[in-house]
Amino acid sequence: MTRLVTSISELRAVCHDARSRGKVVGVVPTMGSLHEGHRSLMRAARADCDVVVVTVFVNPMQFGPNEDLDRYPRDLDGDVEACAAEHVDVVFAPSVDEMYPRGPSATVVHVAGLTDRLCGASRPGHFDGVTTIVAKLFGIVGRSRAYFGRKDAQQLAVVARMTADLDLPVDVIGCPIVREDDGLALSSRNAYLSAEHRAVAPTLHRALGQARAAFESGEREADTLVAMVHSAIATRPEFEVDYVECVDATSLEPLNVIEAPALLAVAARLGSTRLIDNVDLSPTS
């Protein structure tokens, strides 16, 4: 039976009680509108942990003033159903008042450096919102394993760095990107795409795939790979590119030559919908 919890004190008690019985707690933080990408994280948590908690919270603090907070898709009944189908023990779906009872948080967790680039450059304050809510969540849940998708590779790197820097008792685990058959990375925001934009959206994945193929054939110059992605996306004038960058996978520092695990990442708009995608480039693979 999947239990719906809306209060912080109840979630804290459930996790504390589980650990006192020797159980391992797994947590999957989400903003709801759950799809196969989220469900793959639930399955990873279910395979590793005794008690699985999925959090569903559209966190206002991580949305900019002109972003899609109000129209972000919400479907708690569907989310609870999806969690039940994945044998999740607890869905934590707090209200905004429950998470921010004193109004906007006076305390902000900021990870310096890693949040300046990529999505951080065009979404100022976004990652402060993410790290503040995730730090709160880790404080409530306590010792646990937390599952994040590589789809949001910068978010994963930032959360991993915060957790290490603050010695939080959480193992942060990255999970593979889940895609549609045509390569488009699953995202709750794909629901915003018009039929025309949905048809061109997989171009992002194809562009990254071409660069990855060049990398696998020996290309190690970051600029060359970035240029390949730009020119593949430019075949579709519908896209407005935000960035294409090749960065170190852990520090997110820009690279000239790829000698260690790297991330080739893209963000682009189709109409008002912002899509992100990335591929890992590992010189040893």
Q: Which of 35, 38, 87, 110 is catalytic?
A: 38
CB of 217 to ligand AMP, least distance (A): 27
* Min CB(163)–ligand AMP separation in Å: 14
In whole angstroms, how far apart are CA 13 and each of 18, 140, 146? 8, 9, 18
Six token digits for residue 182: 């045509």
Is 41 or 268 the residue whose CB approaches ligand AMP more closely?
41
- Which parts of this chain interact with ligand AMP (CB under 6 A)? 30-31, 37-38, 40-41, 148-149, 151-152, 175, 177-178, 185-188
Nearest approach, Cβ of residue 177 and ligand AMP (Å): 4
φ and ψ of 7, to 5 deg: -110, 145
Alpha helix positions (H), the chain? 8-20, 36-48, 76-85, 96-99, 119-122, 126-141, 153-165, 195-200, 203-216, 222-233
Question: Token digits for 78?
Answer: 């569907």
CB 220 to ligand AMP: min, Å: 27
Q: Is 183 exposed, middle or buried (0-12, 13-18, 19+ CB in 10 A)?
A: middle
d(CA 85, CA 1): 10
Nearer to ligand AMP, 14 or 146 (CB): 146
Task: Please state the separation of Cα 30 from the chain's center in Å.
Answer: 8
Q: Name the residue nearer to ligand AMP (CB basis): 152 or 258.
A: 152
Active site residue 197: no
- Distance in Å, CB of 152 to ligand AMP, minimum: 4
Residue whose CB is less far from ligand AMP, 186 or 211: 186
**Number of neighbouring beta carbons within 10 Å of residue 261:** 14
Nearer to ligand AMP, 28 or 222 (CB): 28
Characterize 126-145 residue by residue with b for buried, 16 or more Cβ atoms within 10 angstroms of its Cβ, and e for exposed.
bbbbbbbbbbbbbebbbebb
What's the token pair of residue 163?
């957790």
Give catalytic residue positions.
38
